[in-house]
Amino acid sequence: MNLRQANLGMINSYPGGWDGMAAVLGLSRDALENRVYERKGQSVSVHQELQMQEFSGTTLFAEAIANRSGGVFTKLIEPGTVDREDLHSKFQELWAKVGDLSRAYTAYTDDNYIDSREKADLQRISNEIQRAMQELMALMFQIYCTPEEQSTPREVRKV
């Protein structure tokens, strides 16, 4: 997902769509459209994108930034909101996504070539797997670690 797609998704997720989002940002609809579509030298500021994300109740801006940075966005889990069933479900979700990747790989390499559409689909599935894995690890640590161990930062290895 790129930034424009994220902006469009946030706008469409907000009640009232374009008109509603423009109003809460203090802009006219035309002004918002000019910024989103980068007309007349205008663009959406990071501050406005963060506001749109908050107003829309999505994480689309964070996901687009993570994607642009070569990563994936994983929302942190609220303490005390998960149990072993959630962990089991996340394992099942992860296995299903690995199966999706395997099926796509088999289908897409049948002709010994991966085109740009197939590459994008494989990358999307890979991102979903990475996100599911990070969510699974967060669930595991929340359920089985003490609060002190949950919040301990990763150890930094010295080179």
- The per-residue pLDDT for range 2-18, each reduced to its tens digit, is 999 999 999 999 999 99
pLDDT at position 87, please?
Answer: 83
Q: Could you tell me the pLDDT band of residue 80, with boundaries at 50, 70 and 90?
A: low
Q: How far is CA 45 from the centre of its chain?
A: 20
91-94 contact pairs (CB < 8 A, 24+): 91/136, 93/132, 94/129, 94/132, 94/133, 94/136
Q: What is the distance between the alpha carbons of residues 1 and 66, in angstroms, rounded to a whole number?
A: 9
Q: What is the distance between the alpha carbons of residues 95 and 153, in angstroms, rounded to a whole number?
A: 28
pLDDT at position 146, please?
Answer: 78
Its sign, for the CA torsion 113, 115, 118, 120, is: positive
Residue 92 near residue 135 (C-beta atoms within 8 A): no
Q: Is the pLDDT of residue 159 over 60?
A: no
